[in-house]
Amino acid sequence: MQEPYKLIGCTILLFGALSLFFSIFYEHTVLALIGLGLTFWGALTLYITTEKYVKEILLDSTLLPTLANMDKILTELGYQGKAVYLPPKYLKDPETSKVYIPKNKNTRLPTPEEIQQKEDKTFLKNPEVALITPPGISLSKLLEQTLGTTFTKVKLENLQKNLSKLFIEDLEIAENLEIQTKPTEAAQKVADTIHVKITNSIYKDLCKEARRLTHICGSIGCPICSAIACAIAKASGKPVTIEKTESTEDGKVIDAFYRIIEE
C-alpha cells in the first residue's frame, strides 16, 4: 500500500536533485527554485507517510461479543454489586488495573493487603467477589504509552489536559473530551464526582449497543469509559466507580460520571 507513495516520493526527489544540479551548472534561477521545491516535496512525501487505518465498524464487531460474554457471565453468577476500579496500592503490580465486583450490593471494600493476597484469582470467596481485568486496560496502557508516563505520576488536576490531548490530538479517539471535577465540602478531599463528556468518539456505536448490557454500561463501562476509570483510579490513588453513563440517541455525546471513593 505504501510502495506507490515511496516511488512517487523518490521520483520527485530525483527530479529535484537533477534540477538543482543543472541550476548550479547553468546558473539558472528558475531551475533552482523548481529544484528546491521538488526536493523538498519529494522528501516530505517520503517523510509524511500514510497511517494504517481500520474501519470503525471492525471495532464493534470484535469488541461487542467479548463485552456481551462478560455481562452474561456476571448476570448468570448473580453479581449485583457496583464495579470498583482499584488503584495501584491494591495490586502487586502497580502498572496493571483490576475491577472489583462484589456479589452483594452491601459488601464493603476490603483492605489493599486482603486483595493482594487473593489477586491472582478471578472469583474470590468470603466475601464473594469477582476480580476481573477491565475492558479498557489496553486502551489505558496505550494512553500511558502515548503520554510517555504512567497515570500514577499524573496529578488528578492535570488529568483533563493530558486526556484531552491524548483523545483529540494524539490518538484521535474523539472530537472533544471535557472533564469537570465537582469538589466536595471537606477540605481534605480533592474531588468526589468527576463528569467526563466525550463527543463523537470512535466507540459511539459500541456504546450505543452496550447500553443494553447492564453490567457493562454504568458499572464496568465500555472500553472508553473503562480506560478513563483506570486513569482516574491511578491518578487519584483511590478506588473509583462509574456512577452512570448517559448518551444521546445517536451516541455522539457520552456523559460518564465517576465517583472517587474515600477510604
Which stretches of the chain bind other proteins, using CB under 8 A? Answer: 23-25, 27-29, 31-33, 36-37, 40, 44, 47-51, 53, 168-170, 172, 175, 200
- Supply the minimum distance, in Å, between the C-beta of residue 195 and other proteins: 21
**Between 129 and 143, CB nearer to other proteins:** 143
CA triple 113-191-116, angle to 5 deg: 10
Count CB neighbours of 14 within 10 A. Answer: 13
Q: How far is the CB of 20 from other proteins (least distance, A)?
A: 8
> What is the distance between the alpha carbons of residues 139 and 222, in angstroms, rounded to a whole number?
11
Q: In the bound complex, what is the minimum distance in angstroms from residue 183's beta carbon to other proteins?
A: 28
The candidate with the shortest Cα–Cα distance to 203, out of 89, 72, 59, 22, is 59
Residue type, 117: Q
Q: Given the C-alpha cell 490513588, which residue does it identify?
A: 237
Q: Which is nearer to other proteins, 168 or 190 (CB)?
A: 168
Q: How far is the CB of 10 from other proteins (least distance, A)?
A: 18
The distance in angstroms from the start CA to the end CA of the chain is 54
Q: How far is the CB of 59 from other proteins (least distance, A)?
A: 15
Q: In this structure, is the dihedral angle defined by the CA atoms of residues 57, 61, 62 and 65, taken in order, positive or negative?
A: positive
- Non-local CB neighbours of 259 within 8 Å, separated by 6+ positions: 192, 193, 194, 240, 241, 243
CB nearer to other proteins: pick between 114 and 170: 170
Calpha distance 155→151 (Å, rounded): 8
Q: Which is nearer to other proteins, 33 or 77 (CB)?
A: 33
Work out how close the CB of 158 gets to other proteins at its nearest, in angstroms, rounded to a whole number: 19
Given the complex with other proteins, which of 31 and 67 has the nearer CB atom? 31
Choice between 43 and 63, CB closer to other proteins: 43
Report how far residue 66's alpha carbon sits from residue 253's, in angstroms, rounded to the nearest whole number.
23
